[in-house]
Amino acid sequence: MNKKEQIENEIEKTLQLFENAERLEPDPHFVTRVEAVIREEENEKFVFSLFLKPAFYIVLFLLNFTSAYFYLTDGNNSLESSTNSELVEVFTNDFNISNSSLNLLNIQ
């Protein structure tokens, strides 16, 4: 018997073991335990959806409302420059830019 035939015989023996294997019976309480775990997960999802989702949306709405309020009212308190020359002056003072540099950038 050569090596190839020996390998094929071993494969056949292994496949026969799979075909003749006896079926293991699960624990009689296995289904009950699985159903209990599923019910617990459903209860947790219910609590989350019942209490936490509305609370999350209320907090999100209040945050959005507050940020919109500050965004709309903040414009009156900030430095308002009405002309382009005032903006250039503020820009040059803040960044220490000379007039020659401004001419290079074509800012008027």
Per-residue pLDDT tens over the stretch 7-27: 999 999 988 888 887 777 878
SS3 of the chain: the string is CCHHHHHHHHHHHHHHHHHHCCCCCCCCCHHHHHHHHHHHHHHHHHHHHHHHHHHHHHHHHHHHHHHHHHHHHHCCCCCCCCCHHHHHHHHHHHHCCCHHHHHHCCCC
Q: Is 83 helix (H, G, I), strand (E, B) or coil?
A: coil
Segment 42-97, tens digit of pLDDT = 877 776 677 788 888 999 999 999 998 888 886 554 455 456 777 777 777 787 76
What pTM, to 2 d.p., does this model score?
Answer: 0.34
